[in-house]
Chain A
Amino acid sequence: MTHTIHILLVDDDPAENLIMRGVMKKVSSVEIHLHYCQTIGEALAFIASGTSVSMVLMDNRLQQCDFRETVPALRQQGYIGPIGVISSSLADPYFQKFEEYGADFRIDKGELDPTAIEFILREYVTRA
């Protein structure tokens, strides 16, 4: 029996929402309900609304800020679920400090295939 997992994608590029939906559909072990917010403001409001969110996938750069500001903002809102930082490049040195900013993991967008999604859900959501 599969159960539904709610993932919030925060990314300023709507195309990423479409791509991610395609990836999530290929995950067969669980049913994923993908929510989408384009700005950190929308994401904070979404969390504040009390909607159940099992995991957040946060784009590194959102307009003028990066995960070093957005992830702590989500934590300040009281979100204690897993947050993964996604980016098209993890090369910047500050990614080495992602844990200090309250993120749980980082992953390249190009590496987010159904196998990686299943692994992450196993590690952070279904096992918890």
Chain B
Amino acid sequence: MRNECYGIAVLVLLVVPALLPVSGGVGLAAQTADSATAEGQADTASATPAGIPDDLRDPETRSQALARILEVAESREGPVRTLWVQGLAVAEKTSPEIGARAVEALLRAEAGDIEAAAWALAEWPGPDEMKGDDRAALLALAARLLDGVDPEGGAQLRERLLAAHPAAPEAVETRLRLARYLAARESDEDRSRALALVEDLIVDTPDHPLAPEARRFLAQLRRGV
């Protein structure tokens, strides 16, 4: 029930801005560069959030593209803002192409095609020299997109992330979320697995910001809650 409510909220929050006039979004329209473009200038591909991926790919416009991602994020609210900040993080720390793919997924999700965007992102092979951490970032973003609409799919992606990139920065949260998903299932095996995941998290990273939440969750699991 909880996840469904969340998914609906994400969907609404993603869809509504997509239906709005192309600009920086709710509340920050007058403050974004895009709004200046939308007011009077010719609408070019690079002047819309949709143009951000291409700008990311172009070395000359990459910096501006990153700034625009930030503007988009600030124009969003709630979980959507967090998603866009996550997208900004992916664009910052990965190659231009990977960052562009991530933003494309976000835009596609905002347009309503969340599952397709998430799976396209997760299944994208990427360049041969793609680093493991970059792949993990994409998987984490894809899994987050699926949280609201396809929890099982999100869990699958998280399993893949942990299997392929157990040391990635996203791995700690991935364990916790996967553990929550597994714990919500009725299977004892899943519960045991969830317990193991949370215990491993606490043992391996006791000082992690999510460790307090993990300890609390572990206590709940042990109580059988």
Answer yes or no: are A and B bound together in one complex: no
Q: Hey, which bits of chain B sit against chain A, CB under 8 A?
A: none
